[in-house]
Structure 1
C-alpha cells in the first residue's frame, strides 16, 4: 500500500516535463527564473486553452534523468507542506523515466470556437504515456494503474493509483516564451486533487521549465516547481499567493528515437 506522504509527493512530481497557449511579447517568465527563489506571487499566465505547442526539436522519445538539486520552504517553520522533509531522500538522486512528444498525439480543438483555431497538428506531449512513466518511476509499477486524459480537453487528466486512490489534475493557466531557436521556456499552473477513501487533499502547483537544445539528441533543462495552498487550507490566508514549497530540478534528456 502507498503511504499518504508518498502520494502527496506525487502531487508535485506529476508536473515534471508534461505540465506545459499563447506566447507573450515580453519575457516575465525568464525574469522570474532569474529572481528565484525570491518568488512572492503567482506567475503571470493566461487561461489554458487547447494543448501546449512544443518546438519541433522536442519531437521523439526521450530517456530522462531528473535530479532534485534544491528544496526550499519559504514560510517555514510556520508553514511546511506534507512530505517536504521526506523529499530529502530525492536530493541529488537522478530519477530515470521515458517521455515522448510528437504531432501524432495532437487532438484538434473541439467546441464552439474550434472553427477559429488552426487544425494543423503540432508537437505536443503524449500526456497519458508521460504521466504513467513518471508516476511509475517514483511510486513503482504496481502502484500506478492508468492515466486517462479527457478526450475533449488535454488539460484534464486522472491518474488511478493502487488502493482506490486517484489524482485529478486540471491545468488552469499557462504561458511560454521562445528566446531563441534553441531555448524554450514554459509555465503552467495546475489544480490538483488527491482523493482516497480516507481523505481529500487539494493544492495548486506551478511548473516553470527552461529547456535548452544542446544538439539533435540532447536537451538540458532547469525546472522549478512551486506549491501553493488551496483556499480550503487553514493556512491559506497566512500564505496568500506566496509559495509554501519550492523544488528546483535539473533535467537531462537523451533522444532515443
Structure 2
C-alpha cells in the first residue's frame, strides 16, 4: 500500500506547494480566467495536460517564494473530488537559505505531510546537501523514494497571484524492483491578505498586508509514466487539492538556525 501511495504523496510533499485561492474561479478548473502567461495557459488546458511541459530545468537553484510566506503555517488540505480521503492537517515552514532567498523547508514539509497521510510507515525524509531539488524518503518494508525536480517555472506580477509549476522525477526502490514516474504539481497562491480566523492555538492571528495571517490555495497535479516509455506523455492520473494556510506565531530563529539549504 505504501509503495502505491508514495508517488502521488511525495509529489504533494516534495513538489510543494499550493495554488490559487479564493474568488472568481471557474467551476471546472478553479481558474480565474483573467490574466495571462505560460502557466495561466497551462491551467486553462487542465486536465488535458501532456509532456513535454514548458518547464526549464532548474539546475541547483531552489524554488524562491515571495516574502509573505516566511514563517510556519498550519495547513488544511482537501482533495477536490467526490469520495476522496478525509482532509489532512499538517505544518509547513519557509526560511532563508544561505543566499538570503526564501525557500520551502522541503524535508520538513514533506515529512509533515507524509506523517499526516502515512503515519509510522514513513520513516525519514532528507535533503540532498548538494542539490536542494533532490530529496530521499525511507519507508517501512525496505522502501525508499528519490524525488528530483527536473523542471520549473514561476510567474508573479504586482497584485497578481504567485504561480509555480514543478515537474519531479520520482524513483521508488523496493524488494519488488524499481518504479519510475514523473509528477507535475502546479500551484497558484492568493497573496492578498484575507480575513483571518482564530489561530491554531485558539488565539487571533495578525493579518497585515505584508504578513497575512491566512492564505488560501488550490493545487493541480498530474502523474505521468516513466521517461523510459518516451519523453512525450499524457497523465496516468490527475488530482486537484484545496488548501487553507493559517500562520502560526513563532519566535524568529537566529539566522544560523533558521536557514535551510
Q: Which residue of 2 aligns with 1:80?
A: none
Residues 125-177 of structure 1: CA deviation (Å, up to 9, x unaligned): 1111111111111100x222211111111011100111211111111110000
**Superposition pairs for residues 138-157 of structure 1, below 5 Å?**
138-140=117-119, 142-157=120-135
Q: Which residue of 2 aligns with 1:75?
A: none
Aligned with 2:12: secondary structure?
coil
* Contact persistence 2:143–2:172 (CA under 8 A): yes
* Contact persistence 2:74–2:89 (CA under 8 A): yes
For 2:47 and 2:186, how far apart are their aligned partners in 1? 12
Structure 1: runs of 5 or more not aligned: 21-25, 72-87, 108-118
Is the counterpart of residue 203 in structure 1 residue 203 in structure 2?
no
The structure richer in strand per residue is 1
* Contact persistence 2:13–2:114 (CA under 8 A): no
* Contact persistence 2:215–2:244 (CA under 8 A): yes
**Superposition pairs for residues 168-187 of structure 1, below 5 Å?**
168-181=146-159, 183-187=161-165
Is the counterpart of residue 123 in structure 1 residue 102 in structure 2?
yes
User: 217, 222, 238: which is aligned to 1:221?
Assistant: 217
* Contact persistence 1:46–1:173 (CA under 8 A): yes
TM-score relative to the length of structure 1: 0.76
For 1:41 and 1:167, how far apart are their aligned partners in 2? 22
Structure 2: runs of 5 or more not aligned: 17-35, 194-211, 250-261
For 1:196 and 1:210, how far apart are their aligned partners in 2? 34
For 1:152 and 1:202, how far apart are their aligned partners in 2? 22
Moved over 6 A (4+): none
Is the counterpart of residue 52 in structure 1 residue 45 in structure 2?
no
Q: How far did 1:7 drift? A: 2.6
Aligned with 2:81: secondary structure?
strand
**Superposition pairs for residues 89-168 of structure 1, below 5 Å?**
89-90=84-85, 93-103=86-96, 106-107=97-98, 119=99, 121-140=100-119, 142-168=120-146
User: In the superposition, relative to structure 1, how do residues 153 and 214 fare at CA in structure 2: closer, same or farther (>3 Å)?
Assistant: same
For 2:40 and 2:244, how far apart are their aligned partners in 1? 20
Q: How far did 1:179 drift? A: 3.6
Aligned with 2:156: secondary structure?
strand
For 1:167 and 1:28, how far apart are their aligned partners in 2? 30
* Contact persistence 2:52–2:232 (CA under 8 A): no
Q: How far did 1:18 drift? A: 4.7
User: In the superposition, relative to structure 1, how do residues 245 and 180 fare at CA in structure 2: closer, same or farther (>3 Å)?
Assistant: farther
Residues 214-236 of structure 1: CA deviation (Å, up to 9, x unaligned): 4201111111111110144xxx4
